[in-house]
Every structure is written in C-alpha cells, then in structure tokens.
Structure 1
Amino acid sequence: MQKTTSQKTKLGIMVLSGVLLFTIAIYLIGEKQSFFTQSFEITSVFKNVKGLRLGNNVRYLGINAGNVESIDIINDTAIKVTLKMDLKTKSFIKKNAFAKISSDGLVGDMVVNIEPGPGFSEGIEDNDQIMAYDPIATYEMLSTLSETNENAAMVTAGILQITNSINKGEGTLGMLVNDRKVAQDIRQIIKNLKETTRRSATLMEKLEDVSTLIKSDQNLMGVMLNDTSIASKVRLLINDLNSTGKEFNTMSKTLNSLINDLACGENSLVNTVAHDSLLKNDLKETLENINSGSQKFDENMEALKHHPLFKGYFKDKKDKKRKN
C-alpha cells in the first residue's frame, strides 16, 4: 500500500514532536536533579550570588545534598535563593546553620555550601530561612591589599630615612650609635648603676639586720625602743647627771677658791708645804684628776645632747627653760 504525502507529513510531525518532547524532558530532568527523590525547601538571602544559576549543587559539609531551585531579587541589596534539599539531610541541618556561595574548584561552577553553626540549635523545618554568609569580594580584597601596600611603602620609606640619619650620626640615636665616647660613657653609667644597686642591696640587708636586732630586745637600743619604762628611767638618769654636773662645777669652784686662799695667806698651806715636794706633787695630781674628770663629764653630756634617743629630751627641756 502506497503512503500518501499527507501521511508522510503527519508521520514527520509526530517524530519531530516526540524528539522535541524527549529533549525537553531530558533538560527538565537535568535541571531537577532531585526530581525522583523526596525533598524539602529552605531559603537564604544573599547580597551577591556571584553568578549562581538554577540547578547548581548545594552541599552540606562537602556532600551533595540538593540543588538551587530558584533565585529571586527582593531589592537592590537582597537576593533570595531557594534550595531544594534531599530529605535525608533534614535531620542533620540545624536552624543556626549558614549558607555561603563558593566556586567548585578554580574554574568550576558556583555551589552553595551549608555549614553548621556554633552551639546547640533545633532541627530545621521545611521553608525555614538560614543565615547567609557573604565573603569579601575579590575587588574589595584587592583594594585593601593595594592600600596596605601603599602604607607599607610609606613605612619602609620612613624607616629608610631614619636609618640614613642614624648612619650619618644625626640625632640622639645616631650619636649613640656612631660616637664611641658616648657609648663608653653609657657603659660606665650602667656599670655605676650596677655598683650602686649592689651597694643599695647590701645596705638594705644591713638595715634589715639592724631592724631585726632592735626588735629582738637583745641590745640596749632594742630595749630602749620597745620598753616604755626605760624612757622614764633614762630621764631620771639624765636629771641625776645634770645635778651631779652642777654639784661637780660647784665643788670645782670651791676648790679653786680654797686654793687661792691657801696660796695668799701668810700661814697658808702653800707656805707650809712649799718645801714639802711629796705633798706638793699629790695636790697637783689631785687637781689634774679633778679637771680631767670635769672635762670628760662635760664631753659626755654634750654627746648625750646630740644622741638621737636623748635629743628630744634636751630640746624639750631647753624649750621649757626658755618659757620659764
């Protein structure tokens, strides 16, 4: 049976339609990678999707877990990306997870990577929105790097200028580096400081020993500082010494007067013992002892006046005397 032209035309149209439908179906299945699997959807809002396209892979911890379902522009700073995820990953993704767009290799397609967030969080639900992480753009990094290079160049130029000044001996630092005499003086100063520090440490050790000895009540100074009853006894002793000194001075004056009387009378003792050399020597030795004892006593009293423990007492007594 011969086929008519119309039948051939109809057959050609049917074949072309079948091929076209098959091509469309293959394309749709390619776009819908999870077409035959159970899935759920989540969204994330980015500032820049960096060339992300429909059907690009979505990865969770580096594992393919879905694909990009849709990309919608909300405004000039927000782009909503809908992700179709494999239902098997739902129990692992938490609400605090975040999404970021990166390249699949150096020249590969863009992919959406989902990373778990810090801390504990509840499991994600269908149509939940997770936080988006927008990394720094390449041009921003290049701009920052360029500015950093300029600053580094300025710092290098400044350091070079300072180095040249030091090499020329300019400024204080240059003088210290290039002048040997200054360096020697500094070494001597450091040496003197070390010696002073050593002596200070030795002095402090001695002062600590003296302080410990005073506090131990094993010497006169410690007893006088720590025993309050000693102060009154010392005052009495000083009063007695003052009285003794006054009496000693009076006795000395009396002896001088007596000696004058004895020397001037006709029947004086001088005339009596003028020819007795032994008695004369005894009297001379006695007077010398008296004068020596009086002088030593005055020196002791003067030393007591300047002693730190009795200085306040004599000062108070002097003030009272002035008031009277």
Structure 2
Amino acid sequence: MNTAENKRAIMVGMFVLIAIVIFVVGILTLGGQQKRFIESITVKTVFDDVEGLKVGNNVWFSGVKVGTVKNIDFYGESQVAITMSIEQEAQKYIRQNSKARISSESLIGNKIIEIFGGTPAAEPIEDGDILASEANLNTDDIMKTLQENNKNLTTITGNFGEISDRLVRGEGTIGTLLTDSTLAQNFKSLIASLEQTSQNTVQASRDLSRFTNKLNTKGSLATELLTDTTVFNKLEETMAQLENASQSAAQMTQNLQEASAKLNNENNAVGVLLSDEQFANQLQRTMQNLETSTEKFDENMEALQSNFLLRGFFRKREKAQRKAAEEAAEQAEQQQNQ
C-alpha cells in the first residue's frame, strides 16, 4: 500500500470516528431531553380530547419539565388514555389529588401536559396512579366566542350611535334635557327642592325622635297616661264627668230659656223688677244702703278685734278652730293608713 492510499484510509477513518462521536452525542442529547436515562415512574390520566397531543411531548409541573408522554391509547367509548413517564425526583412534589390538563408551550408551540394543584395533606403519587383531568378551553371554542362577542359589540356600537344621534337632535326626554336650557333649569330647581325637602324630612325625623324620647321619659304626663292604669282610669272618669256636665249644661240652657220667658212676663215679681224702672231705682238705693252698712259693720268688727278687752276672746276662738282642723286631718290620715 502506497502513501496515497494510507492517507486516504486515515481520512476515512477520521470521518467515520467523527460521525460515530456525533451520533453518540446526539443520542445522549436526545435521551437527556426525553429523559430516557433517568429513573421514572408511570402515571396515567384520561381526556375527552387530546387536541393533537403526541407521544414524546413534554409533561410540566410548576413550569418545570418533569417527564414525557409515553403512550396514547383509546379508552372506553370515546376517551383517550395518556401514559406519562414522570421522573422520580419530581414524584415527591406531585400529590395524588393533583390534576392534569393539556396546554401549549407557547401560543403556537407544541402541546404539553401540565400537572397542577394538589394539597400537602395528600400523599405523593405512586407508580401506576391515575390523575384526574381537567378540560381545557378549546381554541375553536375561543374563536367562536370571540366572533360572537364581536357581533354583539358591533350591534351595541350601532345602537349607541343611533342613540347619540337622537340625543343630538333633541329627541326623547333625555335629548330634551340636553338641548332645552329652560327645562334643564327647571330640572335643577326640582332637584334643589327635593334636596330641601329631604333636609326638612331629616329634621322632622329628628324632632319626632326627640318627641318620642320625651314620651318614653319616666314620670312625664304622656308616660303616665300610657302606662299608669290609675291615671288612665281617672282620666276616663273625668271624661265621663265632663259628659255629664255637658248634659247638665244642656239642661241648664233649657231651664234658662224657660226662665227667660218667665222674666219677660210682667205678671211675676222678677218681671216687675226688670220692667218697673221706679221699683228698680228704689231697689238700687236699698242695695247701696246695705253695702254701706256692711262696710261699717266690718270696720266695727275689726275695731272689736283690736280692742284689748276682746282680743283674748278672738285669739282663743282662732286657736280652737286651728286645733279642730288638726284633729280632723289626723283622723283622715289614720283612716287612709287603715
């Protein structure tokens, strides 16, 4: 073998060696990404729709890649069972009451399975456990909802445009309020009147509250009338007496009318007194003489009481009268106590 052939063989060997190294590195890299060489456990979950999920897609927990999708199989009549390979290092953080849902790595990225939730009170997952699943919002459903909302928004915008045009033209009650300055001023006056009325109502409520408190004050007349049966009974008796007095007054009025008719008759003594002027003058002079005599009698009595000879008599009589009054008061008090 000549030198040229040796060089060619060496070059081929180097390229083959480099290719083998690249192949091994690629296998190790892909295996590391797919976690082929890491100890793991198998966990399952069931979805109604996997939305294009494929074998080899990633499994995430709290934003960290913890495994891959191992198998996708049909389950039951129309569901799909997903078998996931979860690394053992993450096993202690995922609880048996955690849930799984299908998500995306980005807006247009690959589909992934996201494990979320779980409480510290629950046990960590074990090999062969089945996690509950949660349906995710479908992109098609989101687009349909957006389209429906867009139609509704267009309709609402058109309606508001029509309403604003009518308001500018002054149509309707609100349009009139916006364009008619006189009506707007009247509306302001109405609001001011309502405000004043509300203030008056508040003041009246306060006054009524104070009046109610006074009614509830113990010892007041209103409280006695409302709560003391004795006072109420006395008031009832008083009303009955007033009613009797009213009847008596009516009877007295009738009697006075009959007496007045008799007074107008000149055939009786009283009629003569009212109609005979000469007799009336004589009666007046007589009454004057009697009044003068009474005054003089009072003066004489005062003089007698001042006289030192009769002063003891009047004092003794006054003392006896006072003593009799005190004895009567004591007897009344004893009877009341019994």
Shorter-chain TM band: 0.5 to 0.7
Aligned residue type for 2:181: R
Is residue 215–residue 222 contact of structure 1 (8 Å, CA) maintained in 2?
A: no
Cα–Cα, structure 1 residues 259 and 222, in superposed 2: closer, same or farther, change >3 Å?
A: farther
Is residue 96–residue 131 contact of structure 2 (8 Å, CA) maintained in 1?
A: yes
RMSD across aligned positions (CA): 4.3
- Select which of 225, 228, 253 maps to 2:233: 228
1:159 aligns to what? 160
Q: Residue 174 of structure 1: CA displacement?
A: 1.7
Pairing 1:141-160 to 2, within 5 Å after superposition: 141-160=142-161
Is residue 57–residue 112 contact of structure 1 (8 Å, CA) maintained in 2?
A: yes
Normalising by structure 1, report the TM-score: 0.63
Is residue 44–residue 130 contact of structure 2 (8 Å, CA) maintained in 1?
A: yes
1:254 aligns to what? 259
- Select which of 269, 273, 276 maps to 2:277: 273
Is residue 66–residue 86 contact of structure 1 (8 Å, CA) maintained in 2?
A: yes
Q: Residue 66 of structure 1: CA displacement?
A: 2.3
Matches of 2:275 and 2:78 in 1, distance apart?
A: 137
Is residue 263–residue 274 contact of structure 2 (8 Å, CA) maintained in 1?
A: no
Q: Residue 212 of structure 1: CA displacement?
A: 5.4
Aligned residue type for 1:135: N
Is residue 95–residue 125 contact of structure 2 (8 Å, CA) maintained in 1?
A: yes
Count how many residue pairs are aligned between Structure 1 and Structure 2. 266
Matches of 2:135 and 2:274 in 1, distance apart?
A: 128
Aligned residue type for 2:81: K
Is residue 100–residue 114 contact of structure 2 (8 Å, CA) maintained in 1?
A: yes
Any gaps of 5 or more consecutive residues in structure 1? 2-15, 284-324
2:82 aligns to what? 81
Instruction: Report sequence identity in percent.
Output: 24
Matches of 2:135 and 2:92 in 1, distance apart?
A: 25
Matches of 1:215 and 1:37 in 2, distance apart?
A: 86
Pairing 1:57-206 to 2, within 5 Å after superposition: 57-74=58-75, 77-105=78-106, 109-117=110-118, 120-206=121-207
> Which moves more between the two structures, 167-176 or 68-77?
68-77
Aligned residue type for 2:68: N
2:296 aligns to what? none
Aligned residue type for 1:39: S
Aligned residue type for 1:126: D
Q: Residue 117 of structure 1: CA displacement?
A: 3.0
Matches of 2:52 and 2:96 in 1, distance apart?
A: 26
Deviations 1:183-221 (A, max 9, x none): 233233333333444444444555555555566664599
Deviations 1:112-137 (A, max 9, x none): 33223357433322122212334223
Cα–Cα, structure 1 residues 28 and 174, in superposed 2: closer, same or farther, change >3 Å?
A: same
In structure 1, the residue corresponding to 2:123 is in which secondary structure?
A: coil
Q: Residue 232 of structure 1: CA displacement?
A: 1.2
In structure 1, the residue corresponding to 2:81 is in which secondary structure?
A: strand
Any gaps of 5 or more consecutive residues in structure 2? 2-15, 288-338
